[in-house]
Amino acid sequence: MTAALSVLEYHLVNYRRTWRSSALSTLVMPLLTMLGFGVGVGAYVSGGVAGVPYIDWIVPGLIASTALQAAVGEATWPVLSYFEWLKVYFAQAAAPLRVADILGGHLAFMLFRILLSAAAFLAIAAAFGTLHSWWAPLTLVVALLVGLATAAPTVAYAATITSDSYLIILMRFAVLPMSLFSGVFFPVESLPVVLRWLAYAFPLWHGVDLSRDAMLGLNPGCIGLVHVAYLLAWCAAGCWLAHYRFRRRLVI
Count the Cβ atoms, other than its own, within 10 Å of residue 119.
17
Q: pLDDT above 70 covers what percent of the chain?
A: 99
Note whether 155 and 75 are within 8 A (CB). yes
Quote the pLDDT of residue 252: 65
Chain segment 209-242, per-residue pLDDT in tens: 999 999 999 999 999 999 999 999 999 999 999 9
CA gap 20, 204 in Å, rounded: 28
Chain segment 151-204, per-residue pLDDT in tens: 999 999 999 999 999 999 999 999 999 999 999 999 999 999 999 999 999 999
CA gap 76, 150 in Å, rounded: 11
Q: What is the largest CA-CA distance in the chain?
A: 61
